[in-house]
A = this chain, B = another copy of it.
C-alpha cells in the first residue's frame, strides 16, 4: 500500500516487511479503527523504533486520559499548529477538535485565530499561553503562569499543557520539514 501513495512525504515510505513489528501492528489497528492508516504512521516509519518511542509518548500525552480534557489538548494542538502553519497537524487535529468539542464552527475559527473565536475564559488563557510559548519561547517567565492559575490550572495541568505545546512545536516541524500530507478523511471528519 505504501508504494502506491508515495506522495505523502518527501521521504519514501518503507515497505511493510522491513518495519519493526510494532509499527505493522499499529498500521493494522488504525486501519481497523479508522478505516485508514494516518499518513504520519507511514511517513515516520522510515526510522521505525524512533517512531514507536515517539508514538508511545505522544499517545500518552495527547490521546489518553490526562489532566486536561481531550478537547482542551486538541484546542492547544490546533492553536500551535495554525501558528506554525503546519498543514498535516492543523487539518488532522482540526478534525479531532471538531470531534471532541462537537463544534465545527469554533474549531475552524481557532485554526485561523483563536482571538476571534468564542472561547471560554479557561480556553482563552490556554490559547494565549500557547501562542506566547510558540512565538517567543525566550520571553516567557514565571509571571506568565499566573493567568493559567487563575482559570484553575494546577501543577499537573500546567506541566501537561507546556508539554502539549512543546509536542506540537516538535511535530509541526517534523511534518512540515518532510512534507507530510494529511489523509483526505480528516478534511470532512466530524463536520456534521
Contacts and interface: CB of A to CB of B under 8 A. Distances in A.
Interface of A: 10-12, 44, 46-47, 49-50, 53-54, 56-57, 60-61, 66-67, 82, 84-88, 90-91, 104-105, 108-109, 111-113, 115-117, 133-134, 137-142, 144-145, 155-156, 158-160, 162-163, 165-167, 169-174, 176-179, 181-182, 184, 187-188, 191-192
A187 to B, nearest CB: 5
B133 A113 contact: no
Contacts of A44: 159
Nearest to A110: B87
Given A116-B176, A140-B176, A187-B104, A163 B84 contact: no
Nearest to A55: B57
A155 B87 contact: no
Contact of A145 (B10, B66, B111, B166): B10
Nearest to A156: B47
Contact of A111 (B112, B141, B174): B112
A44 B158 CA distance: 11
Given A12-B155, A172-B137, A53 B61 contact: yes
Contacts of A115: 138-139, 141
